[in-house]
Amino acid sequence: MRRFVSAVFLLAIGLVAPLAAQTRVPVKLEPGREQPVDAEATAKIRQYTTAPEFNSPLTDYLPASATVPSPGAVLGDVAGAPGILPYTEEVHRYFRMLAAASPRVRVISIGTSEEGRERIAVAVSSEANLEKQAENDARLAQLADPRLLKLGGSDGSRFDDQRAESLITTSVPVYYITGTIHSPETGAPTALMELAYRLAVDESPYIQSIREHVITLITPVVEVDGRDRMVDVYRWHLAHPKATTPLLSYWGHYVAHDNNRDAMGLTLSLSRQVLDTYLGWHAQVLHDLHESVPFLYDNTVGDGPYNAWVDPILTNEWQLFGWTNVAEMGKLGMPGVYTHGDFDTWSPGYLMFLAAMHNGVSRLYETFGNRGADTETRELDPDDTSRTWYRQDPPYRTVSWSQRNNNNYEQTGLLVSLAFVAENRELLLRNFWEKSKRSVTKPEREGPAAYVLPAGDRRPGAQAELLRVLQLQHVEISRADKAFTVTVEGGGEPSESKPSDKTAKPKTTTRTFPAGSYVVRMDQPYSRAADALLDRQYWSPDDPQKHPYDDTGWCFPALFDTEAVRVTDRQVLAAPMSRVDAPILPRGGVTGSGPVFVIAQQGDDAMFRLRYALGDATVEAVAEPFRTAKSAYPRGTWLVRGIAQDALDQAAAKAGVTVEAIAAAPKAATRPVGKPRIALLHTWLDTQTEGWWRQRLDRLEIPYTYVSTQDVAADPDLATRYDVILFPPVGVGDPSRIVSGLPLWGEPMPWKTTPETPNLGTIDATDDQRPGLGFAGLDHLRRFAEQGGLLIAVDDTARLLIDTGMAPGVRVADTEGVRVVGSVLDARFPDPASPIVDGLGDRLSVYSAEGLSFELSNAAVGGWADEEGDRPTGRGGPKDTDGTQGRTAQAAPPAQGTVERWEARPLGIEELRRSSWGIIPEALRPRTLVRFGDAGDLLVSGLLEHGDQLARRAAVVEVPVGQGHLLLFAINPIWRGSTIGSHPLVWNAILSLGQRAPVSETGVSR
Ligand SMILES: [Zn+2]
């Protein structure tokens, strides 16, 4: 019995708290000698573990209980048994059985998913702790918000540290564990079922200590929709062992892996519910379980750079937890446990980072999984198996691996961590208190004092959405009761989150903000969450970390195209203001009277929603700015007729859009604003990036048809069904794969609803995932555009259209050396009168994944501009003209006008003479609607190297094709719920280029 010979000391004895005084805290991390054992289950555990060292003395047996059911009651076998993956409902059923049988377990429903599946949290602790949970929570709530323990002094004594210390020594910390956010990472639910069972019934002294000193909170399945689909796919695989398993085309309802990048925007129910649960319980740790690295990579430590807004106390806690895990699991005899490694902890987009931004401890395990419950021989990457200073005992190169092995590692790691917290609860709570205090005292320490979002922002809808995101982050928002004046850095206008003033020397001036301006005070407990989202990011090109793990920039005010002024002047906190607790929505509705309704063009998502909500009303956009008796309106403002005032009032109030009713329309040129029929096009290779587009259309209640590349391949008459096809990025690297799909050898790979797979085929379905767009599909897209359709393609789908000759005169720019990794860049509008940029100012911050840009030509072949080179050797200086000795000087060739980088150059005499067949007719020439900013302004946030190569190049290009258009995006305008600012580029295109209605005489629309 290995577990009896391994006696391991966790840590030196900690302080004995009053609560702990009743029982001596055991320090040995080992099972109790008297612990009754379930012999049958124990034998199974050992049978399913592929080598003794892949288990620990803590988990190589199952405790027996006469009254409490073990996971076998639902699973029919032990956790991690081969061939068994429980559905969400089965996992939840087990936890409810456990709660019914044990007073040490409680199950709470925390909400439902996009598809209506329940999410739960399970609390496991001693009976006494759960009985007094409300009192304990009241203590933790005070440690979480030091303003509740205020003494009033402005010096060091302003908080009641003595009282805090008494709370620290009498409180039980909460450790929150979340499982299987990533659906192919399948082990966590069973590991957590067994962990909860152990914590509930095992009487080993170290488990008793965990029960007594920790409340363990568990959400066993975070991505509940994706879990059920994954189980379907796995069961299909068991039923068809020789066939190729279908790809897991959908995880959650909208996105796949990116569900772990939503902790900033909080657009997914899973992010919001985990955060609400975490903060609702005033937890100290959020520990998220993943399974894509052998054997246990505690990526809490990672390798930097660390997020610039987290408290150093936290980064030291990462080290403390991480290295303790490595040391203790090593002593327990488990190979391949390490903590330092690939992961930079820069972006706050990860689920676990919700804790980091809210004064807790964020943790993440990568254990090793087989994407299912088969036991398989695995060959590991040399990078994962090398012995190095931080991995003295690395994973094996070749290994037989089972789901049970995975469950052993996950459980052992968690037990070690929970025992560590039990022993060091006071340290953890003291740190929690300190971090909370330092969040509240931010204005007088590192600053800033507040961010101000001025009243009267040009984009009220975007401003409101940013404020609502902060509210979801549990950040307190205030509104100024009166105008106030404070010192600000820079010229005061515009915001420093916009780049125009960033090169200017920091100088201070005063600025008066009107009443109604929103203030995000930094003297609140969750100031860091706000600061990290509202500030700008800078990733040095010289940073030793050359492989950023994710986006390097995210500055929300920039990406929302709304102003947020960083104010360090603490006077801002004295301005008269009131807390705003209701969700912030701009006030909407109709004022005035008359048959013509005026809606100011403000580039808001709400206008797009409203257009479809207006039904058959007539909507026109005015081509010029104009005035009514009451207000001035910008170009692109809408005139609405043919709708009852009541109906419009209701729709406008819901959308948060203000409408003025007037007696007669202004005398100005207009163009119609239709309601084009939209299709959203996806592949069967990957639906993730498209999912962010789908999510936004759904949130705005825009009607659209969801079609796959296979549908397009089968439909030669797309133009009879749709006016606009949106083809968002696919993200598979080589765009030709979109055409080819998956190889067609072998059996079909179905994705559809059957009795065997009830959770597949609900978002879209196919008998066979393998066929791609095909050459027929490409041709159908070409015909669609030629017949008057608008095809919007982005990143790799735009590259596909370019590579296949559908966009003559456009190529991907060769920008040598440019390095962009998910950065926020400056963009400008070469034609400010284009309807595509209606509602936008004179610039925009845009999201660029990798620095893609386009180049234009007026010829179908050649005709590209050369970058101006050096002059040949000769007389004079670099700018002078050479001459030939002994002959009269010849007239200089006609001067070429300056050709901008985003433009096609005029064709030369020789090109016009020789290649008339290749010259693109004037009306069909591509033109740039959005370009990247100048080199000095280009970087708004994140990483940018050799930006001079990318500066001023084309970012969005319109290509007339037959009667219709292609619109090619080098940037991604709809990304992770965080690029609200650039949405109008898509909405405006749909509403202007996407309709076939006759064009007004102004010719604004082509
Ligand atoms: Zn993962």
Task: Give the closest residue to 352 by CA, choosing from 399, 433, 267, 283.
Answer: 283
**Two structure tokens written together for 605:** 């998502």
- pLDDT tens digit string along 722-751? 999 999 999 989 999 999 999 999 999 999
Give the pLDDT mean for 778-795: 98
**Two structure tokens written together for 254:** 């909208």
Ligand 1 ion local residues (Cβ < 5 A): 182, 185, 290
Cβ atoms < 10 Å from Cβ of 377:
9
In angstroms, rounded to a whole number, what is the distance separating the alpha carbons of residues 595 and 394?
Answer: 75
In angstroms, rounded to a whole number, what is the distance separating the alpha carbons of residues 956 and 954?
Answer: 6
On the question of pLDDT at 6 being above 70, the answer is no
State the distance from the centre of ligand 1 to the C-alpha of 892, rounded, in angstroms. Answer: 64
The dihedral built from the CA positions of residue 705, 708, 711 and 715, taken in this order, carries a sign that is: positive
- pLDDT tens digit string along 15-70? 333 333 333 344 689 999 999 999 999 999 999 999 999 999 999 999 999 999 99
**790 strand-pairing partners:** 724, 965
Task: Give the closest residue to 249 by CA, choosing from 796, 768, 751.
Answer: 751
In angstroms, rounded to a whole number, what is the distance separating the alpha carbons of residues 320 and 301?
Answer: 9
Mean of the per-residue pLDDT values of the chain: 93
Give the pLDDT mean for 253-264: 98
- pLDDT tens digit string along 745-763? 999 999 999 999 999 999 9
State the distance from the centre of ligand 1 to the C-alpha of 680, rounded, in angstroms. Answer: 27
Three-class SS of 284-317: CEEEEEECEEEEEEEEEEECCCCCCCCCHHHHHH
Q: Which residue has tokens 């198996």?
A: 385
State the distance from the centre of ligand 1 to the C-alpha of 652, rounded, in angstroms. Answer: 41
Q: Which helix (H) or strand (E) holds 219?
A: strand 215-219
In angstroms, rounded to a whole number, what is the distance separating the alpha carbons of residues 263 and 472?
Answer: 10
State the distance from the centre of ligand 1 to the C-alpha of 771, rounded, in angstroms. Answer: 28
Helices marked H in 253-386 — which ranges? 269-280, 312-331, 353-356, 382-385
Higher pLDDT, 498 or 404: 404
On the question of pLDDT at 374 being above 80, the answer is yes
In angstroms, rounded to a whole number, what is the distance separating the alpha carbons of residues 408 and 544?
Answer: 35
In angstroms, rounded to a whole number, what is the distance separating the alpha carbons of residues 760 and 752?
Answer: 5
Assign 1006 a pLDDT band (cuts: 50, 70, 90).
very low
State the distance from the centre of ligand 1 to the C-alpha of 917, rounded, in angstroms. Answer: 53
CB 848, CB 931: distance < 8 Å = no
Amino acid occupying residue 796: D
- pLDDT tens digit string along 122-151? 999 999 999 999 999 999 999 999 999 988
Assign 491 a pLDDT band (cuts: 50, 70, 90).
low
Three-class SS of 792-854: EEECHHHHHHHHCCCCCCEEECCCCCCEECCEEEEEECCCCCCHHHCCCCCEEEEEECCCCCE
CB 180, CB 223: distance < 8 Å = yes
In angstroms, rounded to a whole number, what is the distance separating the alpha carbons of residues 198 and 56?
Answer: 14
Q: Is the pTM of this model over 0.85?
A: yes
CA dihedral 485, 491, 494, 499 (to 10 degrees): -140
Buried/exposed code over 274-312 (b: 16+ C-beta within 10 A; e: otherwise): bbbbbbbbbbbbbbbbbbebbbbbbbbbbbebbbebbbe
State the distance from the centre of ligand 1 to the C-alpha of 295, rounded, in angstroms. Answer: 14
In angstroms, rounded to a whole number, what is the distance separating the alpha carbons of residues 28 and 602?
Answer: 65
- The region that residue 851 occupies, defined by phi over 0 for left and psi between -120 and 50 for alpha, beta otherwise, is left
State the distance from the centre of ligand 1 to the C-alpha of 200, rounded, in angstroms. Answer: 28
State the distance from the centre of ligand 1 to the C-alpha of 297, rounded, in angstroms. Answer: 12
State the distance from the centre of ligand 1 to the C-alpha of 289, rounded, in angstroms. Answer: 7
Q: Give the pLDDT confidence score for residue 13 in this predicted structure.
A: 35
CB 968, CB 940: distance < 8 Å = no
Q: Give the pLDDT confidence score for residue 867 in this predicted structure.
A: 72
Q: Give the pLDDT confidence score for residue 133 in this predicted structure.
A: 98
- pLDDT tens digit string along 191-219? 999 999 999 999 999 999 999 999 999 99
DSSP, collapsed to helix, strand or coil, labels residue 206 as helix
In angstroms, rounded to a whole number, what is the distance separating the alpha carbons of residues 281 and 136?
Answer: 10
State the distance from the centre of ligand 1 to the C-alpha of 744, rounded, in angstroms. Answer: 29
State the distance from the centre of ligand 1 to the C-alpha of 947, rounded, in angstroms. Answer: 33
State the distance from the centre of ligand 1 to the C-alpha of 296, rounded, in angstroms. Answer: 13
Task: Give the closest residue to 661 by CA, choosing from 676, 685, 683, 643.
Answer: 643
Assign 505 a pLDDT band (cuts: 50, 70, 90).
low
**376 strand-pairing partners:** 401
**Two structure tokens written together for 310:** 């987290």
State the distance from the centre of ligand 1 to the C-alpha of 250, rounded, in angstroms. Answer: 15
Share of the chain above pLDDT 90, in %: 88
State the distance from the centre of ligand 1 to the C-alpha of 66, rounded, in angstroms. Answer: 37
State the distance from the centre of ligand 1 to the C-alpha of 584, rounded, in angstroms. Answer: 34
Task: Give the closest residue to 728 by CA, choosing from 704, 745, 752, 758.
Answer: 704
On the question of pLDDT at 103 being above 50, the answer is yes
Task: Give the closest residue to 997 by CA, choosing from 733, 775, 671.
Answer: 671
Q: Which helix (H) or strand (E) holds 478?
A: strand 477-480
CB 233, CB 245: distance < 8 Å = yes
CB 189, CB 221: distance < 8 Å = yes
Task: Give the closest residue to 692 by CA, choosing from 986, 467, 493, 407.
Answer: 986
Beta strands in 38-196 (DSSP E): 105-112, 118-124, 174-178
CB 499, CB 642: distance < 8 Å = no
Strand-pair category, 596-599 with 658-662: antiparallel
State the distance from the centre of ligand 1 to the C-alpha of 188, rounded, in angstroms. Answer: 11
State the distance from the centre of ligand 1 to the C-alpha of 223, rounded, in angstroms. Answer: 11
DSSP, collapsed to helix, strand or coil, labels residue 177 as strand
In angstroms, rounded to a whole number, what is the distance separating the alpha carbons of residues 86 and 228?
Answer: 8
Provide φ and ψ at 262, rounded to 5°: -105, 10
Contacts of residue 966, defined as CB under 8 A and 6 or more positions apart, other chains included, come to 785, 790, 791, 792, 793, 801, 806, 807, 958, 959
Assign 893 a pLDDT band (cuts: 50, 70, 90).
confident
Q: Which helix (H) or strand (E) holds 73?
A: helix 72-75
CB 637, CB 621: distance < 8 Å = yes
Contacts of residue 50, defined as CB under 8 A and 6 or more positions apart, other chains included, come to 375, 399, 400, 401, 402, 404, 405
State the distance from the centre of ligand 1 to the C-alpha of 185, rounded, in angstroms. Answer: 6
State the distance from the centre of ligand 1 to the C-alpha of 364, rounded, in angstroms. Answer: 9
Assign 14 a pLDDT band (cuts: 50, 70, 90).
very low
State the distance from the centre of ligand 1 to the C-alpha of 395, rounded, in angstroms. Answer: 19
State the distance from the centre of ligand 1 to the C-alpha of 491, rounded, in angstroms. Answer: 45
State the distance from the centre of ligand 1 to the C-alpha of 108, rounded, in angstroms. Answer: 25
CA 861 to chain centre: 40
Q: Give the pLDDT confidence score for residue 997 in this predicted structure.
A: 44
State the distance from the centre of ligand 1 to the C-alpha of 365, rounded, in angstroms. Answer: 9
- pLDDT tens digit string along 231-250? 999 999 999 999 999 999 99
In angstroms, rounded to a whole number, what is the distance separating the alpha carbons of residues 524 and 503?
Answer: 31
**Of 14-18, 428-432, 628-632, which range is least confident?**
14-18
State the distance from the centre of ligand 1 to the C-alpha of 353, rounded, in angstroms. Answer: 14
On the question of pLDDT at 347 being above 50, the answer is yes
In angstroms, rounded to a whole number, what is the distance separating the alpha carbons of residues 495 and 19?
Answer: 52
Task: Give the closest residue to 15 by CA, choosing from 143, 199, 165, 207.
Answer: 165
State the distance from the centre of ligand 1 to the C-alpha of 182, rounded, in angstroms. Answer: 5
CB 98, CB 196: distance < 8 Å = yes
**Two structure tokens written together for 19:** 């609560």
Contacts of residue 462, defined as CB under 8 A and 6 or more positions apart, other chains included, come to 560, 561, 562, 603, 604, 605, 980, 981
CA 888 to chain centre: 67
Instruction: Report the Cα–Cα distance between both ends of the chain, in Å, rounded.
Output: 81
On the question of pLDDT at 1005 being above 60, the answer is no
Q: Which residue has tokens 């323990």?
A: 149
- pLDDT tens digit string along 172-193? 999 999 999 999 999 999 999 9
Amino acid occupying residue 776: A
CA dihedral 216, 72, 80, 422 (to 10 degrees): 20
Write out the DSSP string of 530-595.
Answer: HHHHHS--EE-TT-S--S-SS-S---HHHHHT---EEE--GGGGGS-EEEE-SPP----EEEE-SS
Provide φ and ψ at 232, rounded to 5°: -55, -50
**Two structure tokens written together for 929:** 């609607």
